[in-house]
Amino acid sequence: MRAAQRATRDAFLQKIGRRPVIMGILNVTPDSFSDGGTFIASSAAIAHAKQMVADGCDIVDVGGESTRPGATPLDTPGELTRIEPILTELASTLDAAVSIDTYKAKVAARAVELGAVLVNDVWGLQKDPEMADVVAAAEAAVVIMHNRAEKDASIDILTDIRRSFDRSLALANKAGIRSDRIILDPGIGFAKTSHQNRDAIARLAELKDYALPIMVGVSRKTFLGGLGDGSEGSLFGTIAVNLAAAANGASIFRVHDVGPNRAALNVFHALR
């Protein structure tokens, strides 16, 4: 990682805990659940990234492969084809940190070469055996997310989250990833029942003993099936869940709609 990247990485990490931190979502995919196909063109993607920064996001998270349930897997060359031109342009024009949303080590390595300072891994370093070493060698920050191969309504989800985090953190430690560059994500909407999603938000404070920042990604997700109308997937629903998560200890919020979430979280922070 170049010196300028290190400075950008450290400036981003130093914001965490001082105020709510916003990660803006930039999906350059045809099949993401909410905005698939919207930002495939480089010009549209760059314009949207700049707008998110203007609206108050602290880091732009670029994703080249949809991770929604049922999405068609993409190979490494295909993912690189989507993200390389976007990252190249963002590195020279964007006045904010950039992260890469991938579980593939080769994609992560290339993204850092192009200017990314954080790897957002939905499989928490456990899918690709080379990922932990790549993150460590690149000196990148990393989001470790909880995930499962399938739902299991019989388990206590917080116990499962903790087991997964423990495995991921052991991999990070073995590879030499510094703890002050690690962020945890409970993986709302990933292989969890509606009850388990509610549980993960309601019991978020139980993860504070890791003494690591917690990120939540609930934007536009209809993960509370008990509501019946999917209202949690609306903008107002997303803001409500993010405020509940903030009250329970989350400090980073991955969202599509930066401006409204920034405004709501700023008011919450001022009152707190």
Tens digit of each residue's pLDDT (9 = 90 or more) over 149-202: 999 999 999 999 999 999 999 999 999 999 999 999 999 999 999 999 999 999
Q: Which residues contact 64 (CB under 8 A, 6 or more apart)?
A: 28, 29, 74, 78, 79, 80, 82, 83, 101, 102, 107
Whose tokens are 């470790």? That residue is 144
Task: Please give the Cα distance from 155 to 147 (Å, whole number).
Answer: 14
User: What's the confidence (pLDDT) of residue 68?
Assistant: 67
Q: Mean per-residue pLDDT for 244-253?
A: 98
Query: What homologous superfamily does CATH list for 3-266?
Result: Dihydropteroate synthase-like (3.20.20.20)
Q: Which of 110, 192, 198, 221 is catalytic?
A: 221
**Percent of all residues in the chain with a pLDDT value above 70, rounded to a whole number:** 95
For the stretch 210-222, pLDDT in tens is 999 999 999 999 8
Task: Please give the Cα distance from 177 to 212 (Å, whole number).
Answer: 13
User: Is residue 6 annotated as part of the catalytic site, yes or no?
Assistant: no
For the stretch 185-199, pLDDT in tens is 999 999 999 999 999
Residue 124 has pLDDT above 60, yes or no: yes
Task: Please give the Cα distance from 95 to 138 (Å, whole number).
Answer: 21
User: Is residue 208 annotated as part of the catalytic site, yes or no?
Assistant: no
Q: How many CA atoms lie within 13 A of 236 on its CB side?
A: 2
Q: Is the pTM of this model over 0.85?
A: yes
| 3-class DSSP state of 8 | helix
Residue 263 has pLDDT above 80, yes or no: yes
> How many other CB atoms are there within 10 angstroms of residue 33's CB atom?
18
For the stretch 14-72, pLDDT in tens is 999 999 999 999 999 875 445 445 556 788 889 999 999 999 999 999 999 987 666 67
DSSP 73: P
Q: Which of 198, 254, 262, 272 is catalytic?
A: 254
Let me know: does 194 contact 186? Beta carbons within 8 Å.
no
Helix H or strand E segment including 259: helix 258-271
What are the phi and psi torsion angles at 239 (to 5°)?
Answer: -60, -45
Residue ranges per domain, the chain? 3-266
